[in-house]
Amino acid sequence: MKNKTKVKNKLGNTPSTIIAFRYVLIALIITIILMVIIPKVLNYGPGSINTEFDVQMSNISYNTQFLIILCAIIFLIVFFTKILLRDIDAWYKSPKNTKYSDIEKIKKIRLKCFQLPYFFFAFEILVPSVIAFIILSITGGHSGIMIFKIVSLLTSMTALLAVVSFIFSKDLYDEILSNTYVEGFDIGMKTGIRKTMNLVILPIFLATILLVVTVGYSASVIEKEDVLFKTYNRSLSETFDAEREYEIEEIKQLANQIYLYNSNDTIFILHQDDSVENLKGSINVNYFVKEYIKQLSALSDGRIYDSYGVDTQGSSIKLQLPNNEICYVGIIYEVFSATALRFLIISGLFSMFIASLIIYIYGTSLSKSLHQIYKGFKNICDNKDKSTLLPVISNDEIGDLVQSFNEIQKLNTSHIEDIQNKQNMLIERERLASLGQMVGGIAHSLKTPIFSISGGIEGLIELVDEFDSSIEDPTVNDQDMHEIAKDMEVWLAKMRTQLSYMSEVITTVKGQAVTLSGDDSVEFTIEELFSHTNILMKHELQSALVTLKIENKVSNSVILKGNINSLVQVLNNLISNSIQAYEGAPNKSIELKSRIENDKIIISVKDYGPGLPDIVKEKIFKEMVTTKGKEGTGIGIFMSYAMIKAKFNGDIKFETSKKGTEFIIYLPLKK
């Protein structure tokens, strides 16, 4: 993992503070934008917001409503970020020498950094809309259609900005993930590029469609209501004279003569005592309409608005009655267009379907291309494919990635060949070095049988001379001749045994003298393997005063196939390391055992030395490491591991403690 100081200097503050600040800033931007566009898009009546009339209708003003929503969102943002990111904050505040001491905490932090962007993404889209819906419903004065329009606008804006914040906040999470990297730790369920594309792009389409539907519908309604207002306003102006005094019955008579373009349109009289008398139509005149007529209709030439953004409007005129009383004659009408709304919704859903289909198809194609590259790299890592190149089928970043993969594949093939050549060279050098040490031991081992054979020859010479002088000696009988022959047979038997031993030694040494990098494959048994090993290690074991205890539980009917000389050298390396583990202490023993278990032949070499040091345990089999200082190369164990893996498709493991070390070889049992 990287040094933490660099990251902290870059961040300046704790991650939760930075994340909270970004989301609060986004919430503030959304609030300002919506505060400006909602009255225009939903065609609020002049003077209906941020006035005493607004407070009278909604209990609190328009700006106060937004302020409450903003404060609630800010509180939730700060609360959740501080709670959810407290582990990450604690990690940043911890002393430098303890930052990576608890690996489980690091894993938890990494998991949160992977999951939280998606949590806050959903939070930004859903929570503001839910809060707005609750507050608008509680404060009153807001119809269902108006709440729907506001929530739709809010959702569209939050969806767009959620995508932006998702993209820009991931850099901080990615920075933390980069600086808390733990090899081999999975940071969560794979999302896949197709899912990520859907997550980022579909909300943009959804937000755009909601915005287009809401704004498009409002625009069509505004155009329709303008036409109706001008028509009905002209009818009222032509029917009534606002400067003269009317009797109420005359007003009713004249009002009933006004032509209404829709059966639902309503003409009514609002009396001074706030009572309403419907003359035609079925639309109810509510409290909002009555108060708007009395307080604000004069601001818009008699235009009437029913609540905020509701698709019911009208026109009114103020008339004088006797005794200085007044009344209002008004016409209210619906501008709601079910056909237009249905068309916009269906168009939006169809566009959403097409967009989803396109994203799915393109995402699948992109995912397939990336998966092909992934499989290629995985094959390289698994050492399965060393030469196959991928076809370049696009002239974009994916094509560049494929070309880069092909270059890596070529370099990988070249490097593997180079490594194999160098490995063979190192193995050959190690083999020759081991062979040089072995020759001295073999020479010493051959002295005994040579001296024995030399003594046998001298004995035979004497017996031959005795036999020759006895031929004409009358005192020598047949029984004496048979005794001479019997002594000759004894000497010959001794010489035959020694010659057989020498032949076996020479054959074994010859096998080790050949190049071990070859692919010579023969059939052999565990007994033959152990015999060759014992012959070659006999002198080194005797010199160190160490006993090799052999225990073979594998029947001679079990045949192995491969390069026996390679396997002999592996055992020689392991036994030699065990001898050196005793550091010259006499009267020690090494156990060489074999058995069959779970369709595998298991061969073990165990000593009772002090065990392997920690530095060796961490690096063994991964690189050439030695405990012999300048006298060792570390290639023996590394080469043994490579041979077992490459030439026998097996495995080698070890167990070590202060009471000794055991290397265990697993060879697959061929049926």
CA distance 607 to 568: 18
User: Average pLDDT in the 125-130 region?
Assistant: 79
Does some domain include residue 211? Answer: no
Task: Residue 305: give the domain boundaries.
Answer: 224-338
> Would residue 274 count as lying in a domain?
yes
| 607 DSSP assignment | E
Q: How many CB atoms lie within 10 A of CB 429?
A: 12
Residue 525: exposure state from Cβ atoms within 10 A (0-12, 13-18, ≥19)? middle
CA 118 to each of CA 145, 192, 196, 364, 454: distance values in angstroms, whole numbers, following the listed order: 31, 14, 10, 21, 89
Closest CA relative to residue 309, chosen from 157, 144, 155, 154? 144
Residue 269 pLDDT grade (very low, low, confident, very high; cuts 50, 70, 90): very high
Q: 206 in a domain, yes or no?
A: no
Asked if the structure places residue 411 within a domain, the reply is: no
Q: Residue 512 pLDDT more than 60?
A: no
Q: Are residues 314 and 432 in the same domain?
A: no
Query: Same structural domain for residues 459 and 553?
Result: no
Q: Same structural domain for residues 563 and 498? A: no
**Is the CB of residue 132 less than 8 Å from the CB of residue 150?**
yes
Q: Does 371 map to a domain?
A: no
Among 512, 530, 565, identify where a domain stops. 512
Could you please report the per-residue DSSP string of 402-462? Answer: HHHHHHHHHHHHHHHHHHHHHHHHHHHHHHHHHHHHHHHHHHHHHHHHHHHHHHHHHHHHH
Q: Are residues 541 and 670 in the same domain?
A: yes
| 209-218, 514-523, 530-539, range with the lowest pLDDT | 514-523
Tens digits of residue pLDDT in 353-399: 777 777 777 777 777 777 777 677 776 666 666 567 766 666 666 66
Find the DSSP H helices in 471-525.
478-513
User: Quick one: average pLDDT of 318-332?
Assistant: 91
Q: Buried b vs exposed e over 430-443: b needs ≥16 C-beta within 10 Å?
A: bbeebeeebeebbe
Asked, for residue 588, whether it belongs to a domain, the answer is yes
Residues 412/386, Cβ–Cβ less than 8 Å: yes
Backbone angles phi, psi at 657, to 5 degrees: -155, -175
Task: Name residue 14's amino acid.
Answer: T
Higher pLDDT, 351 or 49: 49
Claim: this prediction has a pTM higher than 0.75: no
Helix (H) or strand (E) holding 337, with range, is none
Read off the pLDDT of residues 450-505 as tens digits, 9 standing for 90 and up: 767 777 777 777 777 777 777 767 776 777 777 777 877 877 777 777 676 666 66
Both 24 and 147 in one domain: the answer is yes
pLDDT at 85: 81
Is the model more confident about 266 or about 445? 266
- Give the position of tokens 């608008």: 136
Q: Which amino acid is at 660?
A: G
Residues 6+ apart with CB under 8 A from 403: 392
In CATH, what number is assigned to the domain containing residue 578?
3.30.565.10
pLDDT at 631: 45
Question: What confidence score (pLDDT) does residue 319 get?
Answer: 92
Q: Tell me the C-alpha distance between 616 and 67, whole Å.
A: 65
How many domains is the chain built from?
4
Q: Mean per-residue pLDDT for 388-412?
A: 70
Same domain, 448 and 595: no
Handedness of CA 298, 302, 306, 308 (dihedral sign): negative
203 falls within a domain: no
- Dump the DSSP string for 186-224: --SS---HHHHHHHHHHHHHHHHHHHHHHHHHHHHHHHH
Same domain? For 462 and 484 the reply is yes
Q: Which two tokens stand for residue 244?
A: 């003269």
**Are 35 and 42 spatial neighbours (Cβ–Cβ below 8 Å)?**
no
Sheet strands side by side (includes 303-305): 276-280, 266-270, 326-334, 312-320, 303-305
Residue 112's CB: how many other CB atoms inside 10 A?
19
Radius of gyration of the chain (CA): 48
The residue among 312, 338, 364 that closes a domain is: 338
Same domain for 160 and 247? no
Residue 444 lies in a domain: yes
Maximum distance among all Cα pairs of the chain, rounded to whole angstroms: 186
The whole-angstrom separation of Cα 308 and Cα 321 is 31
Among 464, 494, 512, the domain-final residue is 512
> Nearest Cα to 58, choosing from 49, 66, 70?
49
The amino acid sitting at 522 is V
pLDDT, averaged across the chain:
76
How do beta strands 312-320 and 266-270 pair?
Answer: unpaired
Comparing 4-18, 242-256, 284-298, 417-431, which segment has the lowest mean pLDDT? 4-18
434 pLDDT band, cuts 50/70/90, is low
133 and 269 in a single domain? The answer is: no
* Each residue's pLDDT tens digit, 62-117: 888 888 888 888 888 888 888 888 887 877 777 655 555 567 777 777 777 777 77
What is the distance, to the nearest Å, from the Cα of residue 560 to the centroid of all Cα atoms in its chain?
43
Question: What CATH number is associated with residue 248?
Answer: 3.30.450
Q: Select the more confidently predicted residue: 393 or 277.
A: 277
Q: Copy the structure tokens of residue 228.
A: 């109706």
Residues 507 and 619 in one domain: no
Q: Are residues 535 and 437 in the same domain?
A: no
Residue 263: per-residue pLDDT: 83
> Domain check: are 146 and 53 in the same one?
yes
Q: Which residue has the higher pLDDT, 237 or 310?
A: 237
